[in-house]
Amino acid sequence: MSDSIVHIGLILPDVLGTYGDSGNATVLAQRLRWRGTRSEIVPVHLGEPVPDSLSLYVLGGGEDDAQVLAAQQLRDQPGFRRAVARGAPVFGVCAGLQVLGTWFRTSAGTLQEGLGLLDATTAPARRRAVGEVVVRLDPAFGGETLTGFENHRGHTTVGEGSVPLGKVRRGTGNGDRTEGACTGRVLATYLHGPVLARNPALADLLLGWALGRELPPLPVPEVTALRRERLGRRG
């Protein structure tokens, strides 16, 4: 693959595509296009090997059966682990967060091994978390306010090997007033939206990791206005 093109791996969209999170890959590609950088979205479907040469990798959400299938598929993907080992960014959403963690327990009580790329474990919560979420990001991730929509029943505990993305101001997130998890360049969140469309600074953080440099701001007045309106309503 040409080094002049940023290759965005869309991992298992046929399995982890329940909540429209494939749109995160589209957002990344568009923000590169606006900056004059060529990109290509590379879907990797169930049963296909994950290339180790992609620039970054995106995983979406799904229900229990799909999540278990995704974990089983990705545990046997040496190319994916080689990519993580060389520092390729990985971004997971909802089920993607749980799959990237150490282990997760399904709503039926079955314990499933995750990929161990995040020090995070997940068990079913008493109640399903559904609704808007507002998070104050840790300064390490830009410090801005993160918004999104959650629909999950996971209670995630982040261990010492990872750090949460920030503190929940509204909504549930991990279930302990924190949201998401990150180890190195493996970053995950419970937020849908698609979350990168609603939070362009987070998209640029991932792109900066992939390109090896911090990206300057990319003013898009329409996005700024929508974020201001949304935050004004949600607080």
Whether residue 194 has a cis bond before it, omega within 30° of 0? yes
Query: Which residue, chain included where needed, has tokens 């329409």?
Result: 222
The whole-angstrom separation of Cα 146 and Cα 17 is: 22
| Catalytic entry in 7, 152, 155, 192 | 192
Q: Is 7 a catalytic residue?
A: no
φ and ψ of 202, to 5 deg? -70, -40
Q: CB atoms < 10 A from the CB of 185, how many? A: 17
User: In which region does residue 31 sit, left (phi positive, over 0), alpha (psi from -120 to 50) or beta (all else)?
Assistant: alpha
Q: What would the DSSP string read from start to end of 57-84?
A: EEE----HHHHHHHHHHHHT-HHHHHHH
Of residues 94, 152, 155, 182, which has the active-site annotation?
94
Estimate the share of the chain in helix, then strand, then coil, as percent rounded to the nearest 5.
30, 30, 40
Cβ atoms of residues 168 and 133 within 8 Å: yes
> Quick one: tokens of 215?
């990206």
Q: Is-catalytic flag, 152?
A: no
d(CA 130, CA 172): 8
Q: Which residues are catalytic?
A: 94, 192
